[in-house]
Structure 1
Amino acid sequence: MPALVKRILYTAVGSVSLIIRSLCGLSQNNDHQKNCYKEAEKSTNQKSEYLRLSNGIRIHYHCLDAIESASDLVIFIHGFPDSCHLWTDLINNHARDEANLVALDLPGFGKSEGLSSYGSDDMLTTIYLAIVEFKKSYSCQHCIVVGHDWGGIIASRIAAQTQGLIDRLVLVNSLFVPHFSHMIEERLEMAGQIFSAGVRNQSYTSWLNEIWQAASPVVSQLYKSNYIFMFQLSFFSATKFDWALKSILSACYEWSQAEIQDVRSGHTIGSSLAGHQHDYSLNAWNDRVRLYREGLMSEPWRFAPQHQNGVRSDEKTIKCTTTVIFGLRDQALNSRIAVDGIDAFIQPPTGHPKGCVYLLEDVGHWSPLNARCIQVIQHVLAGAKSHAEVSSSSRIEIETVQGLISRDLL
């Protein structure tokens, strides 16, 4: 798609989204937004700590008392618009002796300091430095990073441009940018080829249906991503269009609350959403939406370790065993774009398998708040602790667990 056409399309979608979101925000009261910030923090034995990085940024994180005998370090990274509290239930319920667990606040979120820029260089370097410091601090041999939403995007980019830093990556309703972009281009190219071929030995209706089958995942993703195009409008700001922002935050709150109640088991997990942000002024939200505006998904990471050593590494494949956990009712991502075919973009070291994919029915974007998803993550971490992945496999394996469905993605 030509750049000009793409820009016009994105601007049109963003403008329509801005109008609709603003009208929705005007029709809502403030209860959801207030609830996001006034939920009482749960009783927990987690400690609130700070880490000063070599680039001067102070990162806030939650952790439990260190276990000297644990060989595993698990780092949890949240997405937009959350904080480290997203992982409170999972950490509280995790087997205490298995690993050292750390949940950090992204820069500009929760209680972490903000950045001067939220592009690839500053954000990826900051999280890279945090992982390095955590590994030094805990002296753990095996590092697992669990990322949701933007946390997974950031972690997967780092895992693609480093060797040995991350031993296992767990993407929870997230995406790997090169794969995501490839799937969109592939779908559009497929639809274009069918269109160019024209109606041959088939009916006109069948021809249109084939085009739709090829393009529909992209159309679905475009619809789900409408708020992103709104954030990318040059004139958008949280202070000018606070009603639009309010509509998005209210939707996030409602979606996340729906995940807290596991309708199948009737088990209720306590609240843990994004609601515990340290600074929730509109100016703070201006910084947070910069995740979408300053090239974090598209710009190269110039300060990647390989670049500093004069080596240009392959940025399009993840360099470690990867587990994908995806709630199929995701309101922000289409699984046909975010999950299908991801095995081709995972290239772990020799002797290590690519990993597994878990697809959760009736679970949405905020899957880390869902009881079944928490059980799956615990299952994955327990398997990683046993280091059973030493046997080599060139395929993404689909594991079927109660409450999940499997799909052959190869």
Structure 2
Amino acid sequence: MLAQLVWESFAFVYAAANLLGVIVLAGLRDGAFFKRPSKEAVKEVQIAQKQYWSVGLNPLPGFSHRFFTLRNGVKLHYVVKTDSLLRKDSLRSSQDDAVKPQNVAVFIHGFPDSFLLWKKILGASSLDSHILIAVDLPGYGGSEGINTYSANDVLETMAEFILGMREKYLKEEAKILLVTHDWGAVIGARLAAEASQLADRWVIASVLIPEHAYSNTTAKVASAKQMLHTYMRQPTRISLLKNAYNTMKPVLSQFRRSFYVFIFNLPYPLAPIFPTFGNYWFLRLLHKAGHGRLAPSKYRKLTSKEAGDAMASSAGPALAQLDEPNGYAASLKNRLPNNGMLEKFRIYREGLFRGPWEKSIETVVALSEIQSSSKRGSGGSGAGLFDDGPPGALKAPATIVYGADDPAFESQLALGGVGDYLAKDSQVVVLEDSGHWLPLEELGSSAIEEVVAWAMEGEEGALKERFGGKWKERVRFHVQV
């Protein structure tokens, strides 16, 4: 009880101090409270929203808007590549039994994005012959929100959506791939651990595997505490203090990197201030980071079009698109006054990272009916042939893609001992000089495209062989299981 009180007090003080510091920084350095978007900037957002969110238009070449209604009536928005579907219908009508069924890739974004995060990869010519689906998370983009953003509700929602996509688009002998980023990758890691039948391979980018990161953190804290206990009995051993500090450095580094997570978990009415103050200062900062514009060597303002596209991606459809017939749920209009930010940040607050998931009867039955891929072997983790590995270990082949310069995560917590949490035929790929928004970066998007193409083409040959030549100095295979 006392330890919990101390932790909650620390978290509140740390978050409140960071919120105050950020507000002062934004006000003094960036003039966030005095700047208003120009007419040109507003116009660019409106143009982008019409282009990407009008249900009667193709948001990307070959893609169309679709909706999936859950059992509870919640309406999720996704886009699907129709060119390949039309070709498939044509091939089916010709009754050509030699035609190989098309594989399916489902893309899941994170905070504060939408399906547009994957724009570069979805347009890749190497994926033209496959069915590509990109969904908006509940409460994001064009998808309706859900009652809570607990692990139970979010994982159940996404499992039901993936099962629906399998039923609608996946044909016998074809394979399905899940490609995920940020909070989408948290969902991907949890589903790969708790509902691995959903996909044949998981691509998990820019995230910590929840139970693995928790295990690494608690192990370092326990080790440091033991050193401090020993020091209290032997105060002359100053080296113990130094060793305890060095042991805790990765944890302290993660605290520093996660300052915004602490702010998002402040009590109301403090928590909603951060995602909306100063004309969405934090959101615009993330947009700059996603375009690699915060690094001193690359720093510059986003062009009006870049800023407009980024804001349209995060904000979702405007009133004009919501009023179109046969389209989005009416409840999305409630998000317009704050661009949906007050819905989006709840994903940090309500237990998705490590909370329990009690699968519904419908989900349990559907998962049991999916035939396991013959390539999975035992389906266990790298911990051993006859066990399931530690709690939270992935039970399906996965490719983890991590930016070496990702500012959101401490690499020792993200990568230390990660092989114990991976299933057979898995890899951890580290991209040099890469940050967090890999799908938007040149190297990151190209590398993820290469991984997706390799998986969709049947995983012929080792993945490492595809990253020779021009990739050799920039792509490092940290773990192969």
- Asked if these proteins are the same fold (TM beyond 0.5), I'd say yes
Percentage of pairs with the same residue: 26
Tell me which residue corresponds to 1:176. 209
Tell me which residue corresponds to 2:384. none
Partners of 1:316 and 1:306 in 2: how far apart?
22
Cα offset, 1:387, TM superposition: 3.2
Partners of 1:339 and 1:406 in 2: how far apart?
12
Tell me which residue corresponds to 2:70. 53
Task: Give CA deviations for 1:256-288 in whole Å, capped at 9, x if unaligned.
Answer: 121799x99xxxxx9564642225532722111
Correspondence list, 1:309-320, <5 A:
316-320=392-396
Tell me which residue corresponds to 1:149. 182
Deviates more, 1:105-114 or 1:22-31: 22-31
Q: 1:84 aligns with which of 110, 115, 118?
A: 115
Tell me which residue corresponds to 2:24. 23
Is the contact between residue 265 and residue 271 of structure 2 (CA under 8 Å) also seen in structure 1?
A: no
Partners of 2:198 and 2:458 in 1: how far apart?
16
Change in Cα spacing, 1:387 to 1:53, as seen in structure 2 (3 Å) is same
Cα offset, 1:238, TM superposition: 6.4
Q: 5+ unaligned residues in a row in structure 1: which ranges?
A: 265-269
Is the contact between residue 111 and residue 183 of structure 2 (CA under 8 Å) also seen in structure 1?
A: yes
SS state at 1:106 partner? coil
Letter in structure 2 aligned against 1:17: N
Cα offset, 1:194, TM superposition: 3.2
Is the contact between residue 127 and residue 453 of structure 2 (CA under 8 Å) also seen in structure 1?
A: no
SS state at 2:284 partner? helix
Partners of 2:279 and 2:210 in 1: how far apart?
25
TM-score by structure 2 length? Answer: 0.72
Partners of 2:250 and 2:466 in 1: how far apart?
22
Change in Cα spacing, 1:318 to 1:115, as seen in structure 2 (3 Å) is same
Partners of 1:209 and 1:98 in 2: how far apart?
57
Letter in structure 2 aligned against 1:109: Y
Is the contact between residue 183 and residue 337 of structure 1 (CA under 8 Å) also seen in structure 2?
A: yes
Is the contact between residue 98 and residue 382 of structure 1 (CA under 8 Å) also seen in structure 2?
A: no
Over the aligned positions, Cα root-mean-square deviation in angstroms equals 3.8
Change in Cα spacing, 1:181 to 1:92, as seen in structure 2 (3 Å) is same
Change in Cα spacing, 1:260 to 1:332, as seen in structure 2 (3 Å) is closer
Q: 2:413 aligns with which of 296, 319, 337?
A: 337
Is the contact between residue 401 and residue 428 of structure 2 (CA under 8 Å) also seen in structure 1?
A: yes
Deviates more, 1:336-345 or 1:316-325: 336-345
Partners of 2:195 and 2:255 in 1: how far apart?
31
Tell me which residue corresponds to 1:246. 280
For the pair 1:117 / 2:135, whether they are aligned, the reply is no
Tell me which residue corresponds to 1:267. none
Is the contact between residue 325 and residue 359 of structure 1 (CA under 8 Å) also seen in structure 2?
A: yes
Cα offset, 1:145, TM superposition: 0.8
Of structures 1 and 2, the larger Rg is shown by 2
For the pair 1:363 / 2:396, whether they are aligned, the reply is no
Deviates more, 1:233-242 or 1:338-347: 233-242
Tell me which residue corresponds to 1:383. 454
Tell me which residue corresponds to 2:323. none
Change in Cα spacing, 1:260 to 1:6, as seen in structure 2 (3 Å) is closer
SS state at 1:49 partner? strand
Partners of 2:278 and 2:5 in 1: how far apart?
26
Tell me which residue corresponds to 2:378. none
Correspondence list, 1:1-400, <5 A:
2-26=3-27, 27-28=31-32, 29-31=35-37, 37=45, 40=48, 41=51, 44-45=60-61, 46-65=63-82, 66-67=84-85, 68=88, 69-140=100-171, 141-198=174-231, 207-236=240-269, 240=273, 242-243=276-277, 246-258=280-292, 271=306, 273=310, 275-276=312-313, 277-278=315-316, 279-282=335-338, 284-303=340-359, 316-347=392-423, 352-353=424-425, 355-388=426-459
Is the contact between residue 427 and residue 477 of structure 2 (CA under 8 Å) also seen in structure 1?
A: no
Partners of 1:134 and 1:282 in 2: how far apart?
31
Partners of 1:133 and 1:36 in 2: how far apart?
35
Cα offset, 1:373, TM superposition: 1.1
Q: 5+ unaligned residues in a row in structure 2: which ranges?
A: 53-58, 89-99, 299-304, 317-334, 369-387
Partners of 2:253 and 2:43 in 1: how far apart?
30
